[in-house]
Amino acid sequence: MKKYFLLLTFAALFQSCNKKDELLTFRFDSSVDFTVPSAAGVNLPVSIPTPDVQSGAQQSFQNNNTRADLVKNVVLEEIELSITNPPGQDFGFLKEVHLFISASGLPEREIAYATNIPENAGTKLALETTDVALDEYVKQSTYDIRTEVVIREAFFQDVDITADMVFRVTADIL
């Protein structure tokens, strides 16, 4: 009986030790709004800064039983742009769009793009992601997203766009 008890104790201890070595994966969402100004030139890259994005990652880390110092990897898994204004506007006015991330003390990195956007693109546009590691960016309380677009054709109203982003996080469990 004593051997059985010791074996169970050892198994429980071994399992709890292994739990610290387990990785978890979860997702968190973020979004940013920006406006493409109607005065933008045709066939020229136009850089559009956005206000600081509140990361929200700290709360997501806490909700998923981890914290920033235990995060191993963060990548942008998906991103979709949606036109919010003016009504009826679609992405056909764009040739290309590139999104870049930056944060205090960190270099700017391209995180997503679309090239050769079709003229009948619609009001939603999924971008290709670059799979760059973004841990150090989203661990900060804020980061910046800069958008660069190449306009296909002249347009006469500002176009408001929302970028909805889904990040995938891999981290150690608390």
Domain of 89, in residue numbers: 23-172
φ, ψ at 25 (rounded to 5°): -125, 135
What CATH number should be reported for the domain holding residue 46? 2.60.120
- pLDDT of amino acid 5: 47
CB atoms within 10 A of CB 69: 9
Its pTM surpasses 0.85: no
Per-residue confidence of the chain (174 residues) as pLDDT tens digits? 555 444 444 445 445 444 556 899 999 999 999 999 987 677 778 888 777 787 778 888 899 999 999 999 999 999 999 999 999 999 999 999 999 999 999 999 999 999 999 999 999 999 999 989 999 998 888 899 999 999 998 888 999 999 999 999 999 998
Asked, for residue 2, whether it belongs to a domain, the answer is: no
85 is a domain residue: yes
Q: Report how far Cα 79 is from the mean position of its chain's Cα atoms.
A: 7
11 found inside a domain = no
Residue 153 Cα to chain centre, angstroms: 28
Is 10 domain-assigned? no
Question: What are the angstrom distances between the C-alpha of 74 and each of 28, 68, 87, 97?
Answer: 10, 11, 35, 22
pLDDT at 13: 47
Inside any domain, residue 148: yes
Structure tokens at 31: 């979004």
**CA dist 57 to 30, 53, 127, 162, 173, Å?**
9, 11, 22, 19, 15
Closest CA to 47 of 123, 118, 108, 138: 108
Question: Can you read off the two tokens belonging to residue 141?
Answer: 């309380």
Looking at the domain assignment, is residue 161 inside a domain?
A: yes
The answer as to whether 49 is a domain residue is: yes
pLDDT of residue 52: 77
Nearest-5° angle of CA 60, CA 63, CA 69?
65
102: in domain: yes
